[in-house]
Structure 1
Amino acid sequence: MSVALLAMFVGFGAVIGVLFGFFGMGGSFLVTPALLVMGYPTRVAVGSGLAFVFGTSVIGALRHRSLGQVDYKLAALMTLSVTAGIEVGKNSVLALEALGLADAVVSVAYVGLLGVVGAFVVYDSWVSGSGDESDDADDADDEKADGLFTGIHLPPMVSLTGGPTVSVWVIFAVGLVVGVLAGFLGVGGGFLLMPAMMYGFGVPAAVAVGTDILQITVSGGVGSFLYAQSGGVDLSIVVPLLAGSALGARLGSAATKLVDEDGIKGYFGLMLLGGAVAVGLRQVGTATGIDFLNTASFVLIVGSALFVSGAIALQSVRAMRTRDGGAAVSTR
């Protein structure tokens, strides 16, 4: 591996580390498509993405555990179902790879999944930032707090941190679906599990983040181990990414104390949409033989990550200046 490529992986890992520390998500939804855009085989892109997820999640899980933001019952149930789903997803990738269809199918699935989730996050950010305090908005918030699946009463039921009671079968079903997607696309499932816990189960946001990261640590480790057995993990990619993310994650975690997370959710949604467009451009470029589209795809996916991490850093600096300015005024 050249020095330039090594430096690029370290820098990219640092950017994703900032996003992970701030949003509590592993970042493989950027790593895997980026590796696909760079021309790595699908198996290597997916397996290395899962290995990166495992490494970035360990530190985050320990930090949230110390803050008491982990629901161990929910994490255990989700881990069992997600792990089963990952095996199904991995076998699907290997079967498609044997047919020569893996790259196309995974890319199309990425476009659809990132596009839908990104659009939802942007919409949710827009609604949250509208400042509508009408009775209808309050009713919608109450409904969302209850959870979409809390009305399903299929014993046994389990009480989760924050008050909601959810059927064990519902938790298993959601975890299985997320696991299949995680194993198929090479993602830790963070950007899927968090909405599922918050909107589906009614779990508080802080607990959803901590529980999500703990589950990702386990599923990411299992997923990367399964792919490593079939030669799908490239340590020359994973190690420099992890080296960069170790620093970036600290910066991102510090930023959560300075920045209003609701004010930047829209940027995160736009980043997901950028990833969807990037993978779509690459697929079209590969099918048509237009090299420019492949280049534009890579620039877009890296640019999306740089844009959002830069926005986090900028708002952190502004918050620090505002805080320091207020402190100076109060001392006069």
Structure 2
Amino acid sequence: MSLALLVLFVGFGVLIGILFGFFGMGGSFLVTPALIVMGYPTRVAVGSGLAFVFGTSVIGALRHRSLGQVDYKLAALMTLSVTAGIEAGKTVVLGLESLGLADMIISVAYVGLLGLVGAFVVYESWQTSTEEGNESGESGETADEEGPTGLFTGIRLPPMVSLTGGPSVSLWVILAVGLVVGVLAGFLGVGGGFLLMPAMMYGFGVPAAVAVGTDILQITVSGGVGSFLYAQSGGVDLSIVAPLLAGSALGARLGTAATSLVDEDGIKIYFGLMLVGGAIAVAVRQVGNSYGIDVLSTVSLVIIVGSAVLVSGAVVYNSVRELRQRRVERQQSSV
């Protein structure tokens, strides 16, 4: 591996580490398409992405645990169901690869899922912020009394599981959602974070910070299982994974600390924008492949890296600004 490529992977690891600690996503949703754009085989891109997820998640899980941002019951249930679905997703990838269709279908799936989920999160968060700004204090108090709700909280099929900071959710609903995410994780080569985080926030009504910490703990196991399965078929390249992990060790600590500084709507909006950027990048690359426009592959990589730089930069900037504001408030209160 050349020195330039080594520096690129370490720097990319730092950026993804920040995003991982902040959003609870292992980063393979960016690593996998980036490796594909750089010319690595689909199996290697997917397997190496999952191996990176496992290594980075260990760092982030320990940090979030110290902040009390983990729901252990939910993490255990999601881990069981997600890992059960990963093998099925991996089997689909290997089958498509033998037919020469894996690259195209996975790219289209990335565009669809990342784009839809990202657009929904941005729209919902923006709408919530606008409504909160227009509503009176009385309406805000009413919302607090009603408590957090989610799309699936109305399904009262026992046994029910009480979640940290959220309502009770049916055990069967949690397992079903985890299974679906697991299949998609094995198929797309991701730890499932970009699907699990919105599932917990919007489906189960879990607060964003707790969703991030719980997601990371679950990813620690599912990413490890996924990378092990791909390693058995020669799908993990340690020369890629090692420099990425070296960079992410620092970035993950910075991103995790930022979750306690940035408001919940801010976390959601940054999360959605990150997904939209990934969807655009993969779409550009696929158009380039379809029409033989090689330069679009480079444009796609620039969009992926640019998205990581902009969003991680925004996270760090807003965290530093919040720290300064808190310091000023403490100084004023002590006067």
- Within 5 A, what are the aligned runs for 1:146-161? 146-161=149-164
- Cα RMSD (Å): 2.3
Distance 1:320 1:61, change over 3 A: closer
Residue of structure 1 in register with 2:279 after alignment: 276
Distance 1:73 1:257, change over 3 A: closer
CA shift, 1:198, in A, is 2.0
Cα deviation digits, residues 74-125 of structure 1 (max 9, x gap): 2222111111110000000000000000000000000000001110121122
Residue of structure 1 in register with 2:295 after alignment: 292
Provide the C-alpha distance between the structure 1 equivalents of 2:155 and 2:118, rounded to a whole number of angstroms. 27
Is residue 169 of structure 2 the alignment partner of residue 132 of structure 1?
A: no
AA matched with 1:39: G
Residue of structure 1 in register with 2:182 after alignment: 179
Provide the C-alpha distance between the structure 2 equivalents of 1:327 and 1:162, rounded to a whole number of angstroms. 28
AA matched with 2:263: D
Q: Is the 8 A contact 2:209 2:259 kept in 1?
A: no
- In the alignment, structure 2 segments of 5+ residues that lack a partner are none
AA matched with 1:79: T
CA shift, 1:261, in A, is 4.6
Residue of structure 2 in register with 1:217 after alignment: 220
- Within 5 A, what are the aligned runs for 1:238-317? 238-263=241-266, 265-317=268-320
CA shift, 1:246, in A, is 0.3
Provide the C-alpha distance between the structure 2 equivalents of 1:109 and 1:178, rounded to a whole number of angstroms. 13
Residue of structure 2 in register with 1:68 after alignment: 68
- Within 5 A, what are the aligned runs for 1:49-128? 49-128=49-128
Cα deviation digits, residues 108-150 of structure 1 (max 9, x gap): 0000000011101211221132123268888888889222212
Greater Cα shift, 229-238 or 148-157: 148-157
CA shift, 1:49, in A, is 0.7
Provide the C-alpha distance between the structure 2 equivalents of 1:272 and 1:120, rounded to a whole number of angstroms. 10
- In the alignment, structure 1 segments of 5+ residues that lack a partner are none
Count of residue pairs the alignment pairs up: 332
AA matched with 1:304: S
Q: What TM-score results when the alignment is normalised by the length of structure 2?
A: 0.91
Greater Cα shift, 47-56 or 68-77: 68-77
Q: Is the 8 A contact 2:88 2:183 kept in 1?
A: yes
Distance 1:141 1:234, change over 3 A: farther
Q: Is the 8 A contact 1:144 1:202 kept in 2?
A: no
Residue of structure 1 in register with 2:36 after alignment: 36
CA shift, 1:31, in A, is 0.8
Distance 1:142 1:192, change over 3 A: farther
Q: Is the 8 A contact 1:129 1:262 kept in 2?
A: yes
Distance 1:163 1:294, change over 3 A: closer
CA shift, 1:186, in A, is 0.8
| Identity level (%) | 80
Residue of structure 2 in register with 1:164 after alignment: 167
Provide the C-alpha distance between the structure 2 equivalents of 1:306 and 1:253, rounded to a whole number of angstroms. 17
Q: What TM-score results when the alignment is normalised by the length of structure 1?
A: 0.92
Q: Is the 8 A contact 2:13 2:248 kept in 1?
A: yes
AA matched with 1:148: L
Greater Cα shift, 61-70 or 300-309: 61-70
Provide the C-alpha distance between the structure 1 equivalents of 2:191 and 2:167, rounded to a whole number of angstroms. 25
CA shift, 1:203, in A, is 2.5
Cα deviation digits, residues 195-247 of structure 1 (max 9, x gap): 11122122233332222111110000000000000011110000000000001
Provide the C-alpha distance between the structure 2 equivalents of 1:258 and 1:175, rounded to a whole number of angstroms. 29
Provide the C-alpha distance between the structure 2 equivalents of 1:26 and 1:246, rounded to a whole number of angstroms. 12
AA matched with 2:245: L
* 1:146 counterpart SS class: coil
AA matched with 1:33: P
Q: Is the 8 A contact 2:64 2:256 kept in 1?
A: no
Cα deviation digits, residues 169-192 of structure 1 (max 9, x gap): 211110111001100001111121
Q: Is the 8 A contact 2:59 2:253 kept in 1?
A: no
Provide the C-alpha distance between the structure 1 equivalents of 2:111 and 2:211, rounded to a whole number of angstroms. 25
Distance 1:253 1:101, change over 3 A: same
Provide the C-alpha distance between the structure 2 equivalents of 1:7 and 1:92, rounded to a whole number of angstroms. 34
AA matched with 1:47: G
Greater Cα shift, 138-147 or 26-35: 138-147
